[in-house]
Chains A and B, each alone.
Chain A
Amino acid sequence: MHSFNIWRSIERLRCDFDIDINLILDGTSVQRGSDINAFELMRIARNLKIDGKSLLNGDFDLQRTAKILGGNKLSIPNKYELGMFSSSTSLKNLVNQFSRFGMKNYVLNKIQVDESFMHNHRPLSVNAVNDALYLVKDFISIEDLKNYSKANARDFLTKSYGQVVQQETSKEKVVEAMLSVAHYVERNWDYKIISNDSGNYTIESEQSEQMLDHSPKKIYTNSYINEMRTYFFYYFMELCGFKNHDVQITSQEFNINSKMTFKVITRGASFTPQASSGPKFH
């Protein structure tokens, strides 16, 4: 029964998108219409640059597959082209963190994003990051979330938006300045800062209307997402010159939206960016 789904997809690629069947079946000895065993399934999936389960179930984006096979490696599924307020950088750091489990190619094949798409900072729907996160959920540890957030903060400061961030964060009130550029990272969240006389800051964030237009609300109930964002701010501040022990996170609240309260004690050396003003979001 499952070979039926496979053949249906293959026939559609052949007929609707003019993909050479020899390219699809390369390295296998299957006869058209015959039963497909595990090895052949994986060979065909490899040829199509998708994962085996999606091929078995016939649930992958044929149009994107055709574009990839046609040489357009930067093509991504249509569903990730809506509300592109997150980035390929975020996805890259997430999959790299889990590559030690051999999950990198699996996740990329599953969500149908080619590795070359992540070589440069490009806009991408947060749904791609969230789908990737779902696929690695059984492997996640707090340490992984911290490492991911750290890599994201570093990339944000050194590669994507270096000059913009430097201009803003060189100001005295760095926390406020940082949040004023937060929308360069993504526009999925709105932020509000509350500071009090004793030097405590509270960052409250909620989903932006733009994000709600494109992403179902329920996906952001995942506490991993909130943990990742909190650590992102933490490491961002550390890279901006606040020494590790100088920023104390005193409380966190996670539900659909999040709240993080912290105290800044001293500020260390200034951050020196390496890169440019960064691309614009679509």
Chain B
Amino acid sequence: MINKEEIKKMADGILHPRKRKFVDNHIMHVEREWFLGVTIGLLLFILGGVWSFNSYQEYRMIDTKDSEIAIDSVIYKKELVDSVVDYFGKREEVYDNYLKKASVNGYQDLVIPIEDEFDNSIGATTTEGLPSSISVDEVEGDIDTPNMDSVIDGEILLPTNSF
């Protein structure tokens, strides 16, 4: 027969069930440690693999680009050179025309017309209306002088106008 004490215990057991506590008193767990070790090892292996793959990708296609920048950096002012060559060509032509005139004519009569392409600043191509005295300072050449300094002996020099 169930006595009163036993009934109380049973009721207490139903109303206040005791939680079962899992208490592990072992410090080392071989399986856990191996699992941790292997996991860390795998992680290191995977990270190393990723890093290696990245490095491989980075250095796999190293291409030494034959840069165009270097080629573009060599400046040769062709237009300027051409204009200077043209300028001196015209100038030499005028010079030669006058020499021809001098050698052919001997300057007894002015027969050969000089085709002067340039309007000299002193304006002394005509003999009429010329004052009895002209003085000009700093007469530049009659042609719009290109910048010679940039093309002297093909060197690339600093731009300055004559003197």
State whether these chains interact: no
Residues of B within 8 A of A (CB): none
